[in-house]
Structure 1
Amino acid sequence: MTIEYLTLQPSGDKMPLVGFGCWKVDPKDAPETIYNAIKTGYRLIDSAANYKNEEGIGKGIQMAIKDGLVRRQDLFVTTKLWSTYHKKEHVRKALEKQLEQLQLDYVDMFLVHFPLPLKYVPIEAKYPPGWYQPGEDVITLDRAPMHECWAAIEDCVRAGLTRNIGVSNFNVQLLMDMLTYANIRPSLLQVELHPYLQQEHLVRWAQQQGIAVTAYSSFGPTSFVSTGSRRAKNVQPLFENPTIMDIAAKYNRQPSEVALRWSLERNVAVVPKSLNVDRMKMNLQALDWKMDEEDVQAINGLDMGLRFNDPMVNAQKLPIFY
């Protein structure tokens, strides 16, 4: 299998089109899961402080390196700055904590997880802190302008702590503003993308600016049923959608492969997750086939603008996408 890549600007680094997502990987399962993912052929590991499993991810990476499966330079490791560390004086300290947990000297991509500055929680008090101040259940915002946060992230590039920087869950307006002050432009935009939430204009505009795009939650509601999401429970599962099922039958593929291939046809990277080695292999096989344009267009017709990772309908009640 030939690994396909996106070439990132401005670094020229190559990022695999299919990576392994670490959201909802249990910390106790993380070392073996990451080891198996690397052994299966994944070279992009997509992590985040708020996933609460980076220590285990680091162990899995080191196990794979120690066993000679890969060298560090063969891997593309992504992590994300959590919202409690947006103040300029906290950014580097947060990344250094993540590097410590990952047992790495640098990451390949460092993303702003949400365009949402939460009140600082000291690492020594609680790590990772989640959405709330310790002992509270109400969101507290902080005075942490994104232009100052981004400048501190750029300093992490200059310090060699990350090779590339980007953003997650940003819209076009935020990106337009960022491009007016960024000295190092964002290399990557990571957002929720699947046939029920296609965000065509956002994807196209970002790519036109030389910003690569990664889809998360490529399987739509499937990823969110276990979180108690009413939206996920009240919509037809993507894998049971007749259009997806018909296309899967046409190519003798699984519906999950169709969902991933649809993103790749848009030149959008994907980061699916599975604990099952056979499904890990199957997800990687999204690189090995092509979909006819008529089938891409049929899937394009499924767009409902249906967002599942939405802090407004979740417990936080924050309308960041509105």
Structure 2
Amino acid sequence: MKAVYCDRHRLHSPGTVVEGGVARPSRDVPARLDALLRAVRRAGLAVLDAVDHGSAPLAAVHTGRYLDFLAASEGTEHGPLAPAIFETRPDAYRPDWSPIAKAGYHLRDQITPLGEGTWQAAYWAAQVALTAAALIRAGERRAYALCRPSGHHAGRDFGGGATYLNNAAIAARALATSLGRVSLIDIDVHHGNGTQDIFWEDPNVFFASLHRSPAGYYPHLTGFSDETGGQPAPGLTLNHPLAERTGDAAYLMAFTACLDAALAHRPAALVISLGFDALASDPARGLQLTADAFGTMGNRLGQLDLPVLLVQEGGYDLATLEQVATRFLSAFTGDG
């Protein structure tokens, strides 16, 4: 099995962010990917460099004005660019707005700043996912995209939740274009609101997300069980919100339900938005999973008789991240 990596992720350094009116250090630090890369090597995966597939696959998922905003925004003389005010009316957009006005239109929060290297890091994270998807298209049965920044909170015309480009959605759409139907399961602790936005009306992509309930938890506005897809794709979105202190047993039941539904879509490939932040020790403080649960999920996914692409999302406990990722990957490849 091969993993795809790009060292340009280090160009993104968010520094201090604001969440709920409180300033704190960003949890998305380069050491996250260092830990995951060590896990990849411990699990015996071959590591490949990302290949540049250009901007067209990005434009197949995100709007042109959003991509232009990201590419042109590298912060200000006072530091990274973040919203000072939020515009929520879709029809209010003006192309002659200042960068900070566009930030208030395109970014959903203040934990997603744009710094000097953010666009390059996000662009190459998407290329990591596309390179891994190309391996699947070429006949590989398993591949792992080591993406940073993560992507699942980024929608068609917006970013948020420390994400800018939706790596998993970009890869899934590329696979659907060439292979046909695709299923995508998000096991990050947070709802994949950006992925849901992108595939809400897409009959070729089934999307399931199991996550801590958005009642009082990020992204707050989406991820409820009655969100099931738009008119062209009814029933192709499945949300499985979980109570705050959900542990292994209930989580694995929800995972089984999501996996069964994803397979019922009869996909040509399965994409997994792989977050490790449901771990009990993670600072996201969402759920109470142990490493055993991730080992179980890795084993189940590894035994599937269809191609599976892993795309990295969250996971912020640097003390345990390498160990839990090694556990998952070893089980996924059949060595654990």
User: How does the TM-score come out when normalised to structure 2?
Assistant: 0.29
User: How does the TM-score come out when normalised to structure 1?
Assistant: 0.30
Question: Structure 1 or 2: larger helix share?
Answer: 1
